[in-house]
Amino acid sequence: MEIDIFEEWFEGEFDNWKQASANPTSWAHIYVKHEKIDDHKFLTSSRYNYQPDKPYREQVVEVTQPHVLGAHVSIIIVKNPACDMIFSYIEKGKFFLGHSSVGCTWKDKPLESQVKLFKDRYHTWDKGYWQGSEGYFHFDKSYK
């Protein structure tokens, strides 16, 4: 059940226009897209608004929910070529909280990522490779 809700919230297009327009010197305007391409598999891409047809990051990820002795474990793992993300559902806040697996690196540099996935919002914070000292990117889901 949790994996179905996670995938429903995860799939779609997001952008951080509100954040970028409020403080353009600190936040680039970015589009993020998670397109379902197969059972539990998504093509994810990130693009700057000034290059909407040229992703700066693109990869296929797989959403899994581990089984222990035949029962679902209440975590979801997004298997990512760069670094796996581990999510759990936070009932009080009504969101999935994710963090990168321990010892994650990207292009031989340490990377620590944190994510909050809501029904209509997606917040990401990458520390290390991309620096990310300003805090979370705040992406809103686009409904077309």
pLDDT band of residue 140 (cuts 50, 70, 90) is: very high
pLDDT band at residue 103 under the 50/70/90 scheme: confident
Give the domain extent around 7. 2-138
Domain assignment of residue 123, yes or no: yes
CATH number of the structural domain spanning residue 91: 2.40.128.590
Does residue 131 sit within a domain? yes
In a domain, 75, yes or no: yes
Domain count, the chain: 1
Give pLDDT, residue 77.
94
Alpha helical stretches, state H, the chain: 2-10, 17-22
- Is 67 inside any structural domain? yes
Average pLDDT of the chain? 90
Distance CA(18)–CA(59), nearest Å, equals 26
pLDDT in tens, 21-58: 999 998 999 999 999 999 999 999 999 999 989 999 89
| Domain membership flag for residue 7 | yes
* Domain annotation covers residue 133: yes
Does a structural domain hold residue 144?
Answer: no
